[in-house]
Structure 1
């Protein structure tokens, strides 16, 4: 009889598969940039998925969409991905963070390494709440500056500036040629993540802060049956985000990523479960649901012309030459 793998293996399979997809996206995007910079003669279309790494530009486009009703023509895929991820958070908790985000995958691997090294530590409840403040402060800054202060005209001035057309190329150069400071910060975060699981996600990531707030008002959560609970505390110890699952009837903390590690750690069958409203779901529903939602919106965006930019290739190439100071 077929037995479904435990939550940790299902999650790792989804994370690894999505990471391989992102590697393919990176290779294709590098070929596109090489063409745009005049280093290759053969034209390679830009993979739209790369625009998912431009969340600030997508936030601005989302504000413009709400104000004007017009979709972003420069980075339409980025806006589609932004909307998809927000829907994921509302419907399926922070399933993007727990199953699809590449930083989440790296954090998971570092958390496991820290556990094996015996240096993994969870801060106490009060300290954990204090440590989440920086990401909410940063999120508040973005909401105030973009959501409140910036008008549609200011957003459009940025959107149609040459820099925005090559923002994803700037991002690629940033990752391919990091400064000493960048490397030091990344190294510090990696070392810190060995001790405090998901350090970046829990303390500094404003995107995760936004998704956590959406998840709190969503219909899906891990629920605990107090009558069958034996009080062993394994669920709380398994939670990489330090959520006190063992004392919650409905785990609705903003830090819950829907990773279902707690479900896999529980020794009592049925004590912990994923529920949407009154329906009980299998543990893999969050990860698979996030993937399905992303695929459906990708296909819908492609069908309605909301995925590929309308910028002519030669114009895009001229913007690259202009911004990066190249002749031609």
Structure 2
């Protein structure tokens, strides 16, 4: 008679479910928070254990609870908004489970064929699953960096109050930032790059905002034109960006060149794309301006 330890079953399912959901996120190019992965993995593992413990559930055909178990975790982790998005995410999760599961079974039987003790199975499950996840992440990062991201790179030349700088910018289709009253598109730029362009007064206003907040900024801005832009980014809490009007921005890529006058640039204190060589996120509306 085979003995199943519930705690071991739960832990293995929890870890594997987290790996599957992370792999699916790589396929879907999404970045849910770590907390969501943990909560989703916990719920999926709990539901799987209940399907074995509860007599009625244990008698159901495998494909029924195989379909039902991922529903709640998918909604929690990926925040799906419609049936089409749910179906795509559901397929990605199952593809990831087939990929990781196939790698684990192959590795397991390779060890058995070499006369290894089958008690290594738990180590193999976690080890091979982790290895597959790391390989997927590495391949995804390489493909994006080598083949996808270069198509969205532009050289940005910014002119402001008699100064001019050139930086590498990335056309971000997810950039939906606009000024509150005039609804002007906003390009996001790091303070490190923008500091060479900003005046002493503008730098002081940014420092005042960081230490004294919006009230201090509005009190001491004087006649300086300042934009306050609501901002939220992956891995960052919601915030307000301080923005300034640039006299001119020139976008260049190969033979392509576009000049835009009077553009708003919002300043962020953190790096973009995890420290890659991009200093600005270009607003997609710039490509539609004639």
TM-score tier by shorter-chain length is under 0.3
TM-score by length of 1: 0.25
RCO higher in structure (CA 8 A, sep ≥6): 1
Choose between structure 1 and 2: higher strand proportion.
2
